[in-house]
Structures are given as structure tokens and as C-alpha cells.
Amino acid sequence: MEKGILKSTWEIFLKEIQTILSILYLSMIGIGMLFNYKKYNSFGINIFEYADVFHFLIAPFQDLTIMYVAIMGILIPVSLYRLWKLISRRFPRIRVILSLGMSKKSWFEPIRFIILGLIFLYFISEFAQGYANFTRDNIELLPSIKITYSDNHSTEGKMLGKTQEVLFLYKENKIKVILITAAVKEIEFL
């Protein structure tokens, strides 16, 4: 009988962990899209015109900053939720005081989840804007590249980023969108 309970519990855990991982991955994709949008938008580029779906599927993993913020953005509301549960169990009077007595109301729990969701969205959007501002203000930290075309003329600049089809080059306070086709012979990082 006990083997059946353990097997059933393990199956439920595996089913739930797959759902949780799927939700986390979708959240990271959304966060990556937001970060990329804010970054390129700060230079006047609408990344959605140049990128395809695959670009956004791997966006959180291309830049460690995005991945760290995505993980923190998920961990902070979860930690707040767990902290509230701990306070509720061990210190019910403190729970009432912190909630200004509203924790006794029937509508409090749904509102609490909405507030946690809003905290998550606020945290992510603020960090995405901060990331975009940092990138724009510290353009000299971006890698310099030299692009050689098939006719052997070349251009240099700071690489803002790239998709499968285009490369964004910052040069002399202007953004150049360079198609990565047969016309580009070589891209050299300086």
C-alpha cells in the first residue's frame, strides 16, 4: 500500500514540476522579450520588426543579465508569498497587524495574489528600463566589430546586437542596420 502512495506522489510531483518548468520558461521568454524591446527601443529600434520567434526563444539565455533578473523577478514574489505563509502560520497576530486587519476579509487572498503579480511586473519592467538605460549610457562598453563586405570595403562600430538576418551597429551617434547576407564577407570582433 505504501509503495502505491509513494508512486502516486512521485507521479503528481513529476506532473507538477513539468508544469512549473514550462511556466518558468515562458516567463523567461516574456522577460527576455521585454528586455530586448526596451534595450533596442532606447536606440529607436523596434526589435519586433527584425527578430523572429527563435530570437525570442533564446533571448533569456543570450544575456546573463536577463537571466539573472528573470530568476530574481520570479524568486522575489515567491519568497514574499512563502514569508507571508510563514508569518500566517507562526505569528497570526503579526499577520493581522501587517494586513491592517484586512486578512480577515474574504476578498483579501485574491487581492494578495494580484498584488504579488503587480510586484513581479513592476520589478521586471523597472529592471528592463534600467538595463536599457545602462546599455544606452555605456555604449563604449559594447564590443567593437569590423565588418568586411564582399567588395572588400569595411566599416567599424559598436555592436548593439544581432538577429539571424540583421546586425545593429552603432557608429557616430547613428544606428546602422546591416543585413547579414552574402554581401557581408567577414565580421571581426575588435
- pLDDT exceeds 80 at position 90: yes
- pLDDT exceeds 50 at position 179: yes
3-state secondary structure of 49: helix
- Burial label, 70 (beta-carbon count in 10 A; 0-12, 13-18, 19+): buried
Per-residue model confidence (pLDDT) at position 37: 92
Per-residue model confidence (pLDDT) at position 6: 58
- pLDDT exceeds 60 at position 89: yes
Per-residue model confidence (pLDDT) at position 2: 55
- Note the pTM of the prediction, 2 decimals: 0.74
* Termini Cα distance of the chain: 67
Cell 533564446 maps to which residue? Answer: 58
pLDDT digits (tens, 9 = 90+) for 94-117: 777 877 777 777 787 788 788 878
Per-residue model confidence (pLDDT) at position 189: 61
Residue 32: name the closest of 43, 40, 22 by CA: 40
Cell 529600434 maps to which residue? Answer: 45
